[in-house]
Structure 1
Amino acid sequence: MKINNMNGIMQAYNLSPKDKNTKKMDSVAQQNDRFEISQKAKEIAVGSKAIAQAPEIREAKVSHIKEQITQGTYTIDPVLIAQKMLSRN
């Protein structure tokens, strides 16, 4: 199907091609976009920042275990290890 007379269609809707574009632009200009960050998201951001700043390795615990290993006093409780392994799913 071929439409030849676009002016007739525009007149039927009482629009000129210029008016049509202007009305679109006006409706777009009147819309205001906005977003809000929820309180939970703000708390997550604070927590993530704190985690990022925390050291990945707990130096005091690692040095304490190293000292026990070098002295030969480091012991492992196999029952505790088995319980921890079974408690993880």
Structure 2
Amino acid sequence: IEIDGNQHFEIEDFKIEQESITDLQKVNALIDFEEKRINEKKGIKSKDSEEWIAINHLFVVIAPFKLKPVSDHLVHLKDNKPKFPFWFSAY
């Protein structure tokens, strides 16, 4: 999954055992972005419109960790973007 250009955020010290994400500011920003995207796609521009579609939850994919390539003996790799080998979905 290529995350460049997609809405995402990172959580420091992620614990897979947690049942929820407590950084509500980041979660709400993600929901607001998706809500705006859905409404603009339908031609609805104003949140004050009666046709505005509000969402309170969404499906996301979570990468519990990422792998970052490091240089070896001053040899730099062409692709230095992090890799996300595992994903799981959440609601």
TM-score bracket for the superposition, by shorter chain length: under 0.3
More strand by share: 2
Give the structure, 1 or 2, with the largest relative contact order (CA under 8 Å, sep 6 or more).
Answer: 2
TM-score when normalising by structure 2 = 0.22
TM-score when normalising by structure 1 = 0.22
The structure whose Rg is larger is 1
More helix by share: 1
